[in-house]
Amino acid sequence: MYSSKITGLGHYVPENVVTNDDLAQWMDTNDEWIQERTGIKERRWIDPKTGDTTAVMGAKAAKIAIERANLTKDDIDFIIFATLSPDMYFPGGGVQIQDLLEMPTIGALDVRNQCSGFIYSLSIADQFIKTGMYKNILVIGSENHSGGLEKSTRGRGVTVIFGDGAGAAVLSRSEEEGRGILSSHLHSEGKHAKELALIGPSTERWVPEIIKDNDPEDVSYFPHMNGQFVFKHAVVRFSEAIVEGLQANGLNKEDIDMLIPHQANLRIAQFIQKKFGLADNKVYNNIMRYGNTTAASIIIALTEAWEEGKIKENDLVVLAAFGSGFTWGSVVIRW
């Protein structure tokens, strides 16, 4: 049985910065209101003139991760691409990465687990490597939210939260015992699916039907979130996933060197930090700069924390996420 470890990390965010004051030009909101509820000061939104898309951003992040892993594109055996905002309804972004990076005809898998997408993707990659099927797997989380948000007062509860960006990791085979990914833990509760969802366009509500109805009050094609309901579940499930990961490895909360939570809301992250009694230098947050980038959020934060020297060899790193689905999970890593 092999183990798997992260050998390369990279991220990419659009240059276009959208501040809270910028949003106040389009909707009834202000910087104080947004920061008080979310902790967000600004986010990055794609400028269409740049040619950035979900797949293009993913490819840019992937190139950095592959180079940092001291590998070439030809060394990658498999691609796992997590997103809720693919460039096309189908096919998914994984095959676009294979094309954009001019890779051999390796397999590409798309993961649609929204905020938990990177956790699920990393877990899948870990299993492929541990069973000996693959040696080097490229795992990407990338999101283009800005093109599908309702940029008006009616949609402000969702629109102010989300940003665009991408992150990538190379997961490689290792024979070191007790290092790399120690365990992963995945959960879902579909009865709450519509509390955080985009109902249409979909196979239940195709575009022709939306056009035919032509109802200006219809918001089914914009993201919907029951914010308080999601918050209450998030703080519980985040905690459960972290505890589950620690217990599975005979560890305690005092053993955590770095917790990287999904960047959904700074208030959630602060609640979890306080509950586990973690010092500020043991939790990494960047939501204030990027907003919620869904499947990209953990990998962007992980990359930045590593780049800043806040994750060192032999550190215990815990990744945790909760989001639409509902889905949630954790990954425990000995760096």
pLDDT digits (tens, 9 = 90+) for 165-192: 999 999 999 998 889 999 999 999 999 9
Catalytic residues: 115, 262, 292
Q: How far apart are CA 45 and CA 42, in angstroms?
A: 10
Q: What is the pLDDT of residue 228?
A: 87
Q: What is the pLDDT of residue 201?
A: 76
Q: Looking at 2-11, 46-55, 206-215, 260-269, which range is the least confident one?
A: 206-215
Q: Does residue 210 have a pLDDT over 70?
A: no
Go through 114-132 and write b for each residue having 16 or more CB atoms within 10 A of its CB, e for each that does not: bbbbbbbbbbbbbebbbee
Q: How far apart are CA 78 and CA 139, in angstroms?
A: 9
Q: Does residue 253 have a pLDDT over 90?
A: yes
Q: How many CB atoms lie within 10 A of CB 333?
A: 25
Q: Are 77 and 134 in contact (CB under 8 A)?
A: yes
- What mean pLDDT is predicted for residues 201-216? 68
Q: Does residue 221 have a pLDDT over 80?
A: no
Q: Looking at 87-91, 119-123, 141-145, 211-215, which range is the least confident one?
A: 211-215
Using pLDDT thresholds of 50, 70 and 90, give the confidence band for residue 197: confident
Q: Are 114 and 295 in contact (CB under 8 A)?
A: yes
Q: Does residue 199 have a pLDDT over 90?
A: no
Q: How far apart are CA 300 and CA 165, in angstroms?
A: 8
- What mean pLDDT is predicted for residues 112-133? 97
- Nearest CA to 57 out of 143, 170, 162, 120 is that of 143
Using pLDDT thresholds of 50, 70 and 90, give the confidence band for residue 101: very high
Judge if the upstream peptide bond of residue 216 is cis by omega within 30 degrees of 0: no
The pTM assigned to this predicted structure is 0.94
Q: What is the pLDDT of residue 13?
A: 98
Q: What is the pLDDT of residue 212?
A: 62
Cβ-based burial of 310 (10 A; exposed 0-12, middle 13-18, buried ≥19): middle
